[in-house]
Amino acid sequence: MQQAKQILVTGGAGFLGSFLCERLLAEGHQVICADNFFTGSRRNVSHLLDDRSFEIIRHDVTFPLYVEVDEIYNLACPASPVHYQSDPVQTTKTSVHGAINMLGLAKRVRAQILQASTSEVYGDPEVHPQLEDYWGRVNPIGPRSCYDEGKRCAETLFFDYWRQHKLRIKVARIFNTYGPRMRPDDGRVVSNFIVQALQNKPITVYGTGQQTRSFCYVEDLIDGLVRLMQTSDDITGPVNLGNPAEFTMLELANLVIELTGSGSKIRFSPLPVDDPKQRQPDIRYASRELKWKPKIALRAGLAKTIAYFEDVLSSGHIRPAAAE
d(CA 213, CA 282) in angstroms, rounded, equals 13
Dihedral sign for Cα atoms in the order 70, 74, 76, 79: negative
**264 and 196 in contact (C-beta within 8 Å)?**
yes
**174 and 119 in contact (C-beta within 8 Å)?**
yes
- Annotated active-site positions, please? 147
189-206 in b/e form (b: 16+ CB < 10 A) is: bbbbbbbbbbbebebbbb
DSSP 265-304: -EEEEPPPTT--S---B--HHHHHHT-----S-HHHHHHH
DSSP 56-89: EEE--TTS------SEEEE--S--SHHHHTTSHH
